[in-house]
Amino acid sequence: MNRIDAELDRNKMDELNDKIIKENIGKEIVLGDGNLNSTIMLIGEAPGAKEVELKKPFVGQAGKQLQEFLDILELDRDKLYVTNTVKFRPTGKSRRTGSEVNRAPSKSEINHFKKYLFEEIDIIRPEVIVTLGNVPLRAVTGLENAKIGDFHGKKTKVIISNSEYILFPLYHPASVIYNRSLKEEYIGDVRNLKNMLCEIKI
């Protein structure tokens, strides 16, 4: 990419980010982060408390799991573009403690933020989209009932805004924290992703 194209993409992303913030006043927005020229785009579900605090996706405990993922792939985070489907932290009240806890984004929240996500994808134009968990998988495929358990670790293709992308769904890194039995399967999927990236010379 030449300097002029890079500047155009930066301007487009700045305009998109401004729009997201202005159209979601009252929400603590966590925007995408990383290399706008990346060939790989990682899409999570929604930010958690630490992400909101630091205004950056995939930090804190989930960030540690993401780092393990990057170590297997032998990639630096600054070479990637990382974002979430929903750009604010969906919360509910814990029945046990009454404190604020994360919850899965609702269908209406996903649909509201999906247009921004598709604009992000159009600006980044990655060769490979890696979705982490159910929410981004459903958003990019349009399959509202898709389950990561049926798609994880398998290369497929998806059409977004008339462009075709390689899609490689993975379990969300946080799921490994809460369900240790997924660890071996998750690591195997990441290794499969690494092999696929080598095959297509990324």
- The domain in which residue 56 lies consists of 3-199
Q: How many domains does the chain contain in total?
A: 1
Distance CA 52, CA 87 (A): 10
What is the number of residues in the chain? 202
CATH code at position 34: 3.40.470.10
pLDDT confidence of residue 1: 59
Per-residue pLDDT of the chain (202 residues; tens, 9 = 90+): 566 778 889 999 999 999 999 999 999 999 999 999 999 999 999 999 999 999 999 987 778 878 888 999 999 999 999 999 999 999 888 888 888 888 889 999 999 999 999 999 999 999 999 999 999 999 999 999 999 999 999 999 999 999 999 999 999 887 877 788 888 999 999 999 999 999 988 7
**What is the predicted pLDDT for the residue at 185?**
93
Cβ contacts of 186-191, under 8 Å, gap ≥ 24: 187/72, 188/153, 189/152, 189/153, 190/69, 190/72, 190/73, 191/72
DSSP code per residue over 97-138: T--EEE-PPPHHHHHHHHHHHHHHHHHH--SEEEEBSHHHHH
CA distances from 137 to 85, 151, 152, 168, 174 (A): 9, 9, 10, 9, 15
